[in-house]
Amino acid sequence: MKTKVILPVAAILLFLSGCVVYSFYPLYTKKDLFPNDILTGKWIDDDGSEWNFEHAYLGKKVPGNIDSTSYVLTLKTKDEEEKETQFSVHIIKLGGHYFLDFYIEDFGDEEFTLYNLHIIPVHTFAKLSFTKDSLNINWFDPDWLEKLIEQNKIRIHHENNGDFILLTAKAQELQKFVTKYVNSEDAFKDGMEAVLTRN
């Protein structure tokens, strides 16, 4: 894990092991989204943290403005100090598999500081499998991706500053990437994983 990375996704890394692949652009376009209630509700992970998925609103929070293609995830971590973080989450289906796109909305610090001036909003994406009462979320392993790039086994738009890789590919290219490797064990073996059960 590259500890020098200070990005909004660090909020997730506080309570889940492993790392993720960062992307400047989302995995989806508007045409990829569809109404669903797959994530709706409160879920608990293995550390006791609460994941609350609710549909987003288009404008005022009134029933007629619910966006059933989008979620707001409120994460409440259980540690010495309870922390709350909000993410925008979208779900799409590619090649028979479901994927989630995470983008931070609120990382709990509204003060204008030198610290948050250096935080870059990024997307992360993960494979989703689910049952009625469980969610299994698996992020791609960044070390696996780095090796593929170094060995010229994959060509995808990216930037590498020596500390971490940031994908700069747009949605169509990202979608080709995730569908190509969705069944690769190595792609997810050492990536971050969240196993949630319905609360």
- pLDDT, tens digit, 9 for 90 and up, residues 3-37: 333 333 444 443 333 478 999 999 999 999 999 99
Model confidence band, residue 80 (pLDDT cutoffs 50, 70, 90): low
The reply to whether 104 falls in a domain is yes
Residue 195 has pLDDT above 90, yes or no: yes
Residue 100 to residue 26: CA distance in whole angstroms: 10
Percent of the chain with pLDDT over 70: 84
Q: Give the pLDDT score at 164.
A: 83
Give me the number of domains the chain comprises.
1
Residue 176 to residue 174: CA distance in whole angstroms: 5
**What is the overall mean pLDDT for the chain?**
86
Residue-number span of the structural domain to which 147 is assigned: 10-198
pLDDT in tens, 141-153: 999 999 999 999 9
pLDDT in tens, 69-79: 999 999 988 76
The reply to whether 158 falls in a domain is yes
The reply to whether 3 falls in a domain is no
CA distances from 168 to 22, 113, 155, 160, 172 (A): 9, 27, 12, 10, 12
Residue 105 has pLDDT above 80, yes or no: no
The reply to whether 163 falls in a domain is yes
Percent of the chain with pLDDT over 90: 65
The reply to whether 2 falls in a domain is no
Helices (H) and strands (E) in the chain, counts: 5, 11
- Render the burial of 126-153: b for 16+ CB within 10 Å, e for the rest: bbbeeeeeebebbbbbbbbbbebeeeee
The reply to whether 1 falls in a domain is no
The reply to whether 87 falls in a domain is yes
